[in-house]
A and B are shown apart, each in its own frame.
Chain A
Amino acid sequence: MSGMKSSQGAITRRSFLKTTAAVGTVAACSGLAVGSVALAAADEAAEQNGEQTFASFCRGNCGSSGCNLNVHVREGKVVRVNSLPFSDADPKTKGRSRICLRGMSNVYRLYSPQRIDYPMRRVEGTPRGGGEWERISWEEAIKQITDTWKGIIEADGPSAIAGWTIYGNSATLQGIFGLGYARLATLLGMSTISNGADMGQIYSGAALAASLGVGASGPNLAAHARNIVLWGANSAVTWPHEWRYMLDAQANGAKITLIDPNVSITAAKVDNHVRIRPCTDSALLMGMCNYIIQNDLVDTEFVLARTNGPCLVKQDDGLILRGSDFGKEFEVLGAMPYSWQPITTDSPYVWDTEKKEAVPADEAAAPALTGSYTVNGKKCTTAFDMLKERVADWSLERTAEVCDITPEEIVMLADCYVNGPTMSALANGPGHYSTSWDYFFGTYELTMLTGNLFRPGAGWANTGQTMTGIWSPDTSYGVPENAITGPEYSVLDLPEIQQTGTYLGKPATVKSAIIHSANPLGNSPDRKRLLEAVDAMDLLVVVDMNETDSTRYADIVLPCTHWFECDDIAGFNCNPYTFIGEKAVEPMFEHKSDYQITRLLAEGMGFGDKFKKEDLEVLEESVNKGVQPDANGNPITWERLKKEKNIRTIPDDYYDPSVIVPDGRLMMYWEHPAARLTGKEIDVVQERLPHFEPPNEAWPEDVPGYPKNSLADKYPIILMNIHARLSTHTTYNHIAWLTELRPEPFVNLNTEDAKERGIAQGDLVKVFNDRGYVIVKAQIDGGLRKGIANLPHGWEADQFIEGHYQDLTPRASNPVDDNECYFDCLCQVEKYEGGK
């Protein structure tokens, strides 16, 4: 292996050294014949044992969840997990079947030493997080929780009890979308502590297109894309399942272009890499849009037909000129889910260049793309012109200066979009800043300007793959009669709510929370403030299968089943199939399914009569009531799912999803900007189109027009926590074989930054800012841009020498999306002299 450092290394070197060091001490050879490898005998055993297999699916949040799993059981124990090939897959190529090291490791997770076996209570008089526990019965646990909740409801109302979840278990009956939790919450009128992770992406997709991904994926991408632009995506590592289609596209002649400040594993695979200054993606987008508009490279036909670009915007109020401005009646049909943009029959108007007057957009023979016109005495300008004006200051030179790239690179990138079909593969590299919204909105504008939607090989999608969207199970069980929707509080606001007793000027408090399918106290930003907010509660209940940073801080921990110990079906996932998740083994100790836990809580709260159904009854009903057919037009039924195990919901040549937008036109101009969380104030005029401004914090250098952040002198390094491949957030971070590959946390440093600080590979360092610190080992990573440190995401408190990386991350955000801004974080790194 000349020239190759064996970095998996710890293992290679250790086992090699162990071997050589002991040469000459051959142990006694007697007795070595015990337990032979007799193949024939083993084969007989396999037959006799009659191994059973069960269908399941992966539910962690890699961002691409939904690998179909084959669970092998012998003598009542799971012995192996591998991929269950899709039912319609070619046996040789296995079609779109997939698996990864994390899904396979569920066999360990199921029997892990981290498993919680019984309901546990913090020993009275000991502090939260003190680690002193007593085992209690389910009856005691439920009684204590529901007695406390009843008291809270009487004193402060049901919204003082909060449901709190993130993406730990994506299924239908159990987990984050669990129908039991939804039913319990709406029966009681509980509040929700809303997670803000990835909300730049999730809310922009929802607000602008009512979808998380719009466009081609898989084989369609591979066959038709001419350009794939990865925006801050390390797809080869973070979304490896679908990465193969990018390579297929590349083999078919497509060019892959990456925009990323760092040289990543993905960078080693792509055709072009633009190394942008961190968090200047929206400036780059302004510059690209301007270049495309100024050089007549706009796909005019697409913009006129499919977007609100030609619609006339009244300059006095910023709203689109509509039939109602001429006194015409209209109906309100509904609203976009989530962002509540009204959907009406109030026709938008455009300027007809033949008739020389404003006409309903759908009746225009020759709609004008540009121009200002006076209609009804009001000055109106096309939405396209407003975008044109918004980006007009972004010359190639200015954009290049702000983004720290060359004008030629901007032209090259613009050409990638002009020479479509082009896929914008969006990721959360630029999605973890206060300015993320504008990056997502900007890529949407660019995609519309160049007509890269609704055609094979093109799109605007979550790291280049679209989501299951055609069929989904019916979820009405989660919304019972007389449902009460409680308030939604951002986790970022929780510390202020607990401190002030108000939220947006109104009284608010959280006296108790139930965390399930989530580990917010290990994953959410500004952890110390969050722990203080939790400390202000009377009762924190955490439901989990394994010990986590959140269970460690609970008052009562309820042990739930692992995926393989309960029944479920897939709900929302990033996969063109839907699945059944069969119960493969009995729970080992006192584990109960999430749904059974919510039944017990409901009984305790006096709603037992509304929770009569068993797990399988609810599942059967929600599958059979799902309204859309499968990819071949056949109904999806419970009987079919039981028999077929997985059913295709999206065909391979998928690229043209149904998008819900007002007026049936993509929103080049966001007429009614709305904050994700009701009541948050935003600058409506500014938010109707993308703009650039530096992020709240991660701006350590002076750039003409944008002076550096005032914290930068003290904290000159941007701290990122880039997703790694051995865990999905904190899930899988205690799998013993994976910790052999990566035994402990570390921070990766740029070569020069390390040298300047006298830090060498393996040195202990302190990473700190005003919010907190963490002590970890340092590694030198030649791929990091100077001024960037990376502490890969997913570690927990027990794995750090001292501190926690989420103690450093900020809560400051953007009121449009209340996005969690993990990378919008400045820090200093120094050699650590104390401790071990």
Chain B
Amino acid sequence: MRMGMVIDLHRCVGCHTCSVACKVANNVPKETWWNRVLTDGGEAIDTLGGEYPNASIKFFPVSCQHCENPACVKVCPVGATYKDPATGIVRQDYDKCIGCRMCMAACPYTGVRSFNWEEPQNYLDHNLGDADAPEHQKHVVEKCTFCYQRQARGEEPACMELCMARARFWGDLDDPESDVFKLVHSRESITLLPEKGTKPSVYYLV
């Protein structure tokens, strides 16, 4: 089994709904985003690059790529970052993490991980999201977990619950019956930075 995502870039409108769904469901602290929607266009969010009328814009929702060959796992000195053999999901054990941030340096996908330098701050006085969302800790690295707490209950990751544009697909990339398998095998797709040899489990339809 290799759980993964397929994101249709023509359908994606860059709305950030997946990012906010992730943030709230996982009670992700202030100034931290596990799932971001990057603008490939102008210098600022939602602005177009190039010069009128040949301007262009694209959006890339980016989170941990849950690589088949994860660079982060290899460099973790304490085994806190590991690949779950049952699902292929790259997970972290916050208790083991010593905050060395080697994983952040090794991961070619800048920004998918963040390090809690200070005590993580909630937006409100109470915790948001799933009751079983992971507790956030000071001095550990955190990132997208593919919402393993939700998966354990047989649910989809929060970002997959309802994409407005119906651009996101989720499932077992090894299962020929899954939507993700069919899309990857029938449509042209890319992965981010294939030259790094990480073999991401997130595919983008182009």
A155 interface contact, C-beta 8 A? no
B131 interface contact, C-beta 8 A? yes
> Which residue of chain A has the shortest Cβ distance to B44 in the bound complex?
A779
Q: Pick the residue among B33, B131, B133 that contacts A49 (CB under 8 A).
A: B131
A661 interface contact, C-beta 8 A? no
A376 interface contact, C-beta 8 A? no
Bound complex: CA A104 to CA B19 (Å)? 11
Interface 9-residue window, one of A32-40, A358-366, A795-803: A32-40
* 1/0 contact string of A58-92 vs chain B (CB within 8 Å): 00000000000000001101011111010000000
CB within 8 Å of B: which A199-242 residues = 236-237, 240-241
A94: B residues at CB distance < 8 A: 162
Bound complex: CA A471 to CA B109 (Å)? 51
Bound complex: CA A240 to CA B46 (Å)? 15
Interface 9-residue window, one of A8-16, A426-434, A456-464, A502-510: A8-16
> Which residue of chain B has the shortest Cβ distance to A47 in the bound complex?
B131
Q: Would B126 and A79 count as touching, CB distance under 8 A?
A: yes
Using A37-B95, A83-B161 as known contacts, say yes or no to A263 and B149 having CB atoms under 8 A apart: no
Interface 9-residue window, one of A322-330, A442-450, A783-791: A783-791
Number of interface residues of A (CB under 8 A): 91
Number of interface residues of B (CB under 8 A): 87
Q: Pick the residue among A23, A49, A83, A751 that contacts B52 (CB under 8 A).
A: A751
Using A5-B39, A6-B111 as known contacts, say yes or no to A780 and B47 having CB atoms under 8 A apart: yes
B37 interface contact, C-beta 8 A? yes
Bound complex: CA A51 to CA B10 (Å)? 37
Q: Would A741 and B45 count as touching, CB distance under 8 A?
A: yes
B73 → chain A, closest Cβ, in Å?
Answer: 17
Q: Would A781 and B42 count as touching, CB distance under 8 A?
A: yes
Using A9-B38, A247-B10, A740-B31 as known contacts, say yes or no to A39 and B16 having CB atoms under 8 A apart: no
Bound complex: CA A724 to CA B13 (Å)? 12
Q: Would B20 and A782 count as touching, CB distance under 8 A?
A: no
B188 interface contact, C-beta 8 A? no
A608 → chain B, closest Cβ, in Å?
Answer: 38
A349 → chain B, closest Cβ, in Å?
Answer: 50
Task: Identify which of B52, B130, B134 gathers the most chain A CB atoms within 10 Å of its CB.
Answer: B52
A684 interface contact, C-beta 8 A? no
Q: Would B99 and A29 count as touching, CB distance under 8 A?
A: yes
A37: B residues at CB distance < 8 A: 93-95, 134-135
Q: Would A7 and B161 count as touching, CB distance under 8 A?
A: no
Q: Would B139 and A77 count as touching, CB distance under 8 A?
A: no
Q: Would B52 and A750 count as touching, CB distance under 8 A?
A: yes
> Which residue of chain B has the shortest Cβ distance to A94 in the bound complex?
B162
Q: Would A244 and B165 count as touching, CB distance under 8 A?
A: yes
B148: A residues at CB distance < 8 A: 39
Using A37-B94, A37-B135, A82-B162 as known contacts, say yes or no to A12 and B43 having CB atoms under 8 A apart: no
Bound complex: CA A565 to CA B165 (Å)? 30
B74 interface contact, C-beta 8 A? no
Q: Would A82 and B128 count as touching, CB distance under 8 A?
A: no
A740: B residues at CB distance < 8 A: 30-31, 33
B173 interface contact, C-beta 8 A? no
B20: A residues at CB distance < 8 A: 101, 104-105, 737-738
B30: A residues at CB distance < 8 A: 736-737, 740
Q: Pick the residue among B36, B132, B152, B158 that contacts A12 (CB under 8 A).
A: B36
Q: Would A26 and B99 count as touching, CB distance under 8 A?
A: yes
Q: Would A247 and B49 count as touching, CB distance under 8 A?
A: no
* 1/0 contact string of A95-120 vs chain B (CB within 8 Å): 00111110011011001000000000
* 1/0 contact string of B99-127 vs chain A (CB within 8 Å): 11100110001110011010000011111
Q: Would B110 and A6 count as touching, CB distance under 8 A?
A: yes
B193 interface contact, C-beta 8 A? yes
B69 interface contact, C-beta 8 A? no
Which 8 pairs of residues, A with B, have the shortest CB-CB distance?
A: A42-B132, A783-B48, A7-B39, A782-B55, A46-B131, A101-B20, A35-B135, A781-B47
Beyond known contacts A42-B149, A98-B162, A785-B53: 19 more, CB 8 A cutoff? A6-B38, A7-B46, A15-B111, A18-B115, A19-B115, A35-B94, A39-B149, A39-B152, A45-B132, A75-B126, A79-B128, A83-B161, A101-B19, A263-B56, A268-B48, A741-B45, A750-B52, A781-B42, A784-B52
Write the residues of chain A forming the contact surface with B, with a CB cutoff of 8 angstroms.
Answer: 1-12, 14-16, 18-19, 22-23, 26-27, 29, 32-37, 39, 42-43, 45-46, 49, 51, 74-75, 77, 79-83, 85, 94, 97-101, 104-105, 107-108, 111, 236-237, 240-241, 243-244, 247, 262-265, 268-269, 275, 724-726, 736-738, 740-742, 746, 748, 750-751, 761, 779-786
7 inter-chain pairs at a CB distance below 8 angstroms, sorted by A residue, are A1-B110, A7-B43, A101-B17, A244-B165, A750-B52, A761-B43, A785-B53
